[in-house]
Structure 1
């Protein structure tokens, strides 16, 4: 399949993923009556369901990366042409920003905004590294045809066992800077998240390589994705 169609798939898939994460966060916060745990649960369930569907839909088109860290690992492994890495990342970042704007439009919020929600600290950086390492390990070790439910399930679990609620995705961190909502992250906090995510991706790849290889069969698409969100109790 030609590169423009793959890039369109990455941009559209990432946009819809961010619309799911941010939109469900807005709805959850409005309906939860101040109960952050209930809002996070609703945000989690919506993201798990949306992520699973998006991976299934866009996997055969672009691989459903939706995540620059994932694309970088796939390029390193030779499963994505290195010349396609930068276009993939650009498509994912643009899609993430558009997804945030789409969520705002659906809820009659100002389209252009920046988050004031500070998310920082050693615990959250470690959590992002752990979440991203786990995500890459699941992607690389998943049996053929089972990546979509496994990735979605891992992200759902990581919402709750990580202090950062598992962004695990530089594009997600970028897109959420443009939303001053439940799912947002302050621009000043994003670099720490992105650096932790890239470190986590490298750790996940190293762990995979240290284990017995389990390669995808020829012709099996790299069906992968990422991102979770919410308001952790540690914030």
Structure 2
């Protein structure tokens, strides 16, 4: 899941980003409204966490502009303006998909982001299967031949992407874009190390094939 946090308070933005990354989300940060709009035009984000009070271009204007796109990201307004009239205005006049007032509980923020990401015309199946592997998205459960596995959030996200591909190769860059974020050095060994641990946990190194040109794919 790819998330953009548009927040000019640097400490809060980094705190939110760090917390979401621990939930296996790829997170980028924008400190101004114009940067947030530009990044949304360049990248297909699943959810935009948007502060209303942004410099250069307000969050309200960003929301209005993005709503004109054919396929805009889901917008969660996260703001200190938490009165009932503010919430109604954000959801109706501005067209936000959800509205959360500061201060907030982080667990609720995560739940709202996940709920927004599921709002798609054709949601993927709850359970993904490939050969002996079974992954249940809602419960974050994985099993091989009925044997449950304990995976880290990154391992789960990598396996999920490979299962969605259904045996087609997933490139190194696509894994970084989807599971990590724009700040990860493309030369890092993080992807290779995560796949290596995942192979061990799956119990069969041959279940995930690696190709220097194409990337990684699941094997029967």
TM over 0.5, shorter chain: no
Higher helix share: 1
TM-score (norm 1): 0.20
With CA pairs under 8 Å and 6+ residues apart, which has the higher RCO, 1 or 2?
Answer: 1
Larger radius of gyration: 2
